[in-house]
Amino acid sequence: MLKKILIGLAIFLLIAFIAFKISTRPTATDDGAYIPSPLALKIAVPPATDFDNTTYDNPHRGNKKVLMVCTEERYMTMANGKKFSTGNHPVEMMVPAMHLRNAGFEIDIVTPTGKPVAVEMWAMPSDDKYINDFYPEFKKKLENPGSLSSFVRNSMTDSTDYVGVFIPGGHGAMLGLPENQDLNKVIQWNHKNDMHMLAICHGPAALLAAGMNGDKDSYIYNGYKIASFPDAVDAQGPMIGYNPGAMPWIYGERLNKLGVTIINKAADATVHMDRKLISGASPQAANAFGKLAATELLKAVN
């Protein structure tokens, strides 16, 4: 009898192990890349957000805008050579954008060369009414952004149309932006004109563009504290199949070397404001991040 019980238990554990391995295996896509595993999607992509559709007293009635800088690159080559299908996270773009809209601000979207924004469509909250209503119109902007390069050449100098710059997250923020010279100029322009900088989740990786020379003493954000996606959580990604391998480089570590302190240890709802830099830790922070950004931008223009 005991032998039968032990055999049955062994079979059950074997089946459970196989099921776990399958559920944590990143899903291959037709283009040879990978999206997160079924388990990772279940853990990290809830069907709806906590967007609360805040109504702002005295919304902006003027022409001030926010410049949203997005990635146009989709594939992150991991340390093992496998490609992660990424881009900008839809929640981290749209939830703050809806708050900025409610506060009366227009959003201009740019990518480095004007190619369409790469979006992590697998992270779309399918049952979220607000997102579903907002996305069709927002999609037109994502598919037809301006060129960051053109903005720097033609629109940036002496422009009074903007009140801030917004860099959404998603691992795509680590692709093409941290080493972009035009973004370097935009960050310098933003800082010089005392505008707000908004960055959420992996978005702060793009702020490395202002520190490409590695000089901590001259780095704009030396001494700042931010909320951002922790390196330690990124390191755990392959364990649940969120991404198909270890990270190719560690962005938080590089920010630390330039004098930036990440205050949160978990990928949670933490938001933080240090001077004119507003930051958030993860998609869970998108609603609070958007509300804080909208509130502070209204203070700036009013």
Catalytic residues: 201
Task: With CA atoms as reference, report the closest residue to 78 among 154, 12, 171.
Answer: 171
In the chain, alpha helices (H): 2-23, 38-44, 90-102, 129-143, 148-154, 181-192, 231-240, 251-257, 286-301
Phi, psi of 225 (to 5 degrees): -115, 140
* CB neighbour list of residue 107: distance below 8 Å, 6 or more residues apart: 65, 66, 67, 68, 97, 100, 101, 141, 166
* CB neighbour list of residue 40: distance below 8 Å, 6 or more residues apart: 24, 26, 237, 240, 241, 242
Question: What is each CA distance from 78 to 69, 109, 141, 231, in whole angstroms?
Answer: 23, 27, 29, 15
User: Parallel, antiparallel, or unpaired: how do β-strands 65-69 and 162-167 relate?
Assistant: parallel
Q: What is the DSSP letter of 59?
A: -
User: Parallel, antiparallel, or unpaired: how do β-strands 106-111 and 146-147 relate?
Assistant: parallel
Query: Can you tell me the distance from the alpha carbon of 23 to that of 240, in angstroms, rounded to the nearest whole number?
Result: 8
DSSP three-state, residue 172: helix
Query: Can you tell me the distance from the alpha carbon of 87 to that of 74, in angstroms, rounded to the nearest whole number?
Result: 5
